[in-house]
Structure 1
Amino acid sequence: MNTASPRPVARRSLFKAGAFGAAAVAGGLALSACGGGSLAGSGGGGGESKTFKLAETHPDDYPTTLGDKKFAELAEKYSDGRIKIQVYPNAQLGEESDAIEQVQMGSIEMTRISSAPMGEFVPAMGLFSLPYLFDDADHLWRFLESESGKKLLGEVDGAGFKGLGYFDPGARSFYTSKKPIKAPTDVKGLKIRVQESQVQIDFIKALGGSPTPMDYGEVYSSLQSGLLDGAENNEPSYLSASHYEVAKNYTLDRHMRVAEVLLINKDTWAGLDTKDQEALQKAADEAAPFQREKWDAQVETDLEKLRGEGVTINEISDLAPWREATKSVIDKHGAKLGEYLDAVEELRTA
């Protein structure tokens, strides 16, 4: 049985504690009985085989899913077959907000999660939701690979997780069903879907819009019905979820570069011996550049596909008015992120 001390659970978990708590207990007892790695772990000499589940929201051929699969392949290789990771794409184990709670409770072992909902569990992760913070992808990765980026990843330890590394989700941009967004004032009055992140909620409010937190799987029908006027996401997500069918105006303002985080349950990690921990970490480190390469290629391909589908793409070249309009968000949420904001600024021209 799991004898670790209780871990903090995010506020929204209070509404689901009964369902997920039962799942965690049942999963933990079953895995303890059969020698699985979810809550107990062997901690032995690396001879026991373990099979872990990794929850993924996106489709089977999506760049983050491909990164998950490469991670699983390398983990099995570097552990000499002792660790097998089953990747479950298409939100088979729940949407991101559900999957992260299940990993925190230990009913599943791993997930690939956006840092935006992670901010509810680890406030410092809200850094990545701050608008127009990074100039481009290279700027983002200079930060992620710096000592500050590694320190930020380590902050998830206090919430019941072990952070194995970052994946690249590109840049998030607006798309709308009716009028296009070409200037900050165009967002005023629009109902925009956001992730469950207070930073993102305040970002939309700063632009005069009406933020609507909603699970990813509900966005298409909500755009179609008019419950939403728009949403925001990267190019592959916009295309793969077919949101372009019901929202044909895409504005490349690239307002957020929200890092993806590869997580494992902290007790599961602690139950591994040193050799298997090293194998998992090495696999994560090598899967990251592979995933980034897949991502960059996918973005170029998907933009061409979107143009072919009749999507109107508006490229924003001058971000100054957007940064000015949303400065209050950084002032509010950046107050406790001083050292990380300083690092971002220092790496802007590195």
Structure 2
Amino acid sequence: MKKMRIMRLLVMLSILVIILSACSGNNANGDEKSSEKGGDVYTFKVSHVTQESHVWHQTALKFGEELEKLSDGRMKLEIYPASQLGLEKDMAQQLETGSLDFGFLTNAYMSTRQDSLNAWFMPFTFKNLEEAVKMRESEAAKQMLEDLNSQGLVGLDFIFAGNRHILMKNGHVSSPQDLKGKKIRIIGSPAIQEFWEKVGAGPTAMPLSEVYTSLQTGVIDGIDIDLDALVTEKYYENAENLTLTNHITFPSVIVMSQKTYDKLTTEDQEIVKKALKAAADWGVQEAIQRENKNLEELKKHGVKVKELTDTSAFDSIAKEVKDKYAEKSPVIKKFLEEAKQ
């Protein structure tokens, strides 16, 4: 009898283990549970390269708020700013494997993986950030996002840090001649590299973490920079001559891991898309407002600001770059055509 009771107890314990295993699950990062309100509970991870004061981080915070609101608290977001999870190539690998759920990746890095994204870097296409933001809804921009599927990524949207300008240790810029032979820190992108080479400068790609001291020690003569990064990283402490050129714009490509996306129900996929769209809409408007605020902040810090109103000295260079990339990519060609409308 005693042996029979032990056997029954073992059988009941085995059944209990099977039931508990069936009831448990895994979300994108191993914490999925059932909500009392219905649906699974998720804690997603998102990473980016900027500081917490930057507009991209603020947009990520807004995304988290929207996720919680639209999911009735079932979805939360853990944010890892300032490259805490590694360089962007590391983030991309984590997205591909599903260990990272969302990435706000610079268009500079992503353009090295997908040629059509160089469209955003066609020189002197936008007079201001408002013009660039409108192209977020263009058919060409939507095609760029769709094409990311081949990389195991779900392209969701674009947000912006602002348009790019030129900060120099000595003097302002009115023509390519002012940049000839100058070592200019750039972001690593094929189109940007080519533009600066044709200008006659010495383009130097380096991580953000090295820019401050490189300006300070004279390793570089200037930087290609957006105003938000210029304020948040305080580069003006080592270079005071800012020329407002608007020579390119600087988006972030917001992507989601395909593996994470595929784990969600159709309803939860729609919640993610809706939350991200609301956050991105907020983020691009915040970026536009920051352009003026950041400019005033820089002036308060003694930065000498000059606007390049006549860009004709750069026309032939800009045309050469645009023609080359439009020939390489039908998406870039379409993007440039839509930008003229």
TM-score range for the pair, normalised by the shorter chain length:
0.7 to 0.9
Select the residue among 131, 137, 162 that pairs with 1:145.
137
2:60 aligned with 1:51, yes or no? no
Select the residue among 36, 39, 44 that pairs with 2:27.
36
- How big is the shift at 1:169? 2.0
Which whole-Å CA distance do the structure 2 matches of 1:303 and 1:333 have between them? 32
- How big is the shift at 1:305? 1.4
> What is the aligned partner in structure 1 of residue 311 from structure 2?
319
The equivalences for 1:1-350 within 5 A come to 35-38=26-29, 47-349=39-341
- How big is the shift at 1:224? 1.2
Answer with 1 or 2: which has the greater Rg.
Answer: 2
Q: Is the 8 A contact 1:244 1:306 kept in 2?
A: yes
Which whole-Å CA distance do the structure 2 matches of 1:333 and 1:148 have between them? 14
Uncovered stretches (5+) of structure 2, i.e. residues with no partner: 1-23
Which whole-Å CA distance do the structure 1 matches of 2:317 and 2:134 have between them? 26
Which whole-Å CA distance do the structure 1 matches of 2:32 and 2:316 have between them? 50
- How big is the shift at 1:70? 0.7
Change (3 A) 1:306 1:139: closer
Amino acid across the alignment from 1:205: E
Could you list the per-position Cα deviations for residues 41-72 of structure 1 after superposition, in whole angstroms to 9, with x for gaps in the alignment?
Answer: 89xx9722221111122222321111111111
Change (3 A) 1:39 1:254: farther
Which whole-Å CA distance do the structure 2 matches of 1:187 and 1:107 have between them? 43
Which whole-Å CA distance do the structure 2 matches of 1:278 and 1:184 have between them? 48
Could you list the per-position Cα deviations for residues 261-282 of structure 1 after superposition, in whole angstroms to 9, with x for gaps in the alignment?
Answer: 1111111111111111100100
Q: Is the 8 A contact 1:194 1:201 kept in 2?
A: yes
Of stretches 266-275 and 80-89 in structure 1, the one that deviates more from structure 2 is 80-89
Uncovered stretches (5+) of structure 1, i.e. residues with no partner: 1-32
Change (3 A) 1:161 1:339: closer
Q: TM-score, normalised by structure 2?
A: 0.85
Q: TM-score, normalised by structure 1?
A: 0.83
- How big is the shift at 1:38? 4.5
Could you list the per-position Cα deviations for residues 236-292 of structure 1 after superposition, in whole angstroms to 9, with x for gaps in the alignment?
Answer: 111110111112111111111132211111111111111111001001111122112
Amino acid across the alignment from 1:319: T
Change (3 A) 1:200 1:343: closer
Which whole-Å CA distance do the structure 1 matches of 2:131 and 2:67 have between them? 29
2:247 counterpart SS class: strand
Which whole-Å CA distance do the structure 2 matches of 1:196 and 1:72 have between them? 29
Of stretches 90-99 and 169-178 in structure 1, the one that deviates more from structure 2 is 90-99
Which whole-Å CA distance do the structure 1 matches of 2:300 and 2:131 have between them? 31
1:166 counterpart SS class: strand
Could you list the per-position Cα deviations for residues 315-338 of structure 1 after superposition, in whole angstroms to 9, with x for gaps in the alignment?
Answer: 001122212233322232222223
Q: Is the 8 A contact 2:186 2:223 kept in 1?
A: yes
1:154 counterpart SS class: helix
Question: How many residue pairs align between the two structures?
Answer: 316
Which whole-Å CA distance do the structure 1 matches of 2:102 and 2:338 have between them? 33
1:254 counterpart SS class: coil
2:250 counterpart SS class: coil
After TM superposition, the runs of 4+ consecutive aligned structure 1 residues lying more than 4 A away are: 38-42
Change (3 A) 1:346 1:34: closer
- How big is the shift at 1:92? 2.1
1:175 counterpart SS class: strand
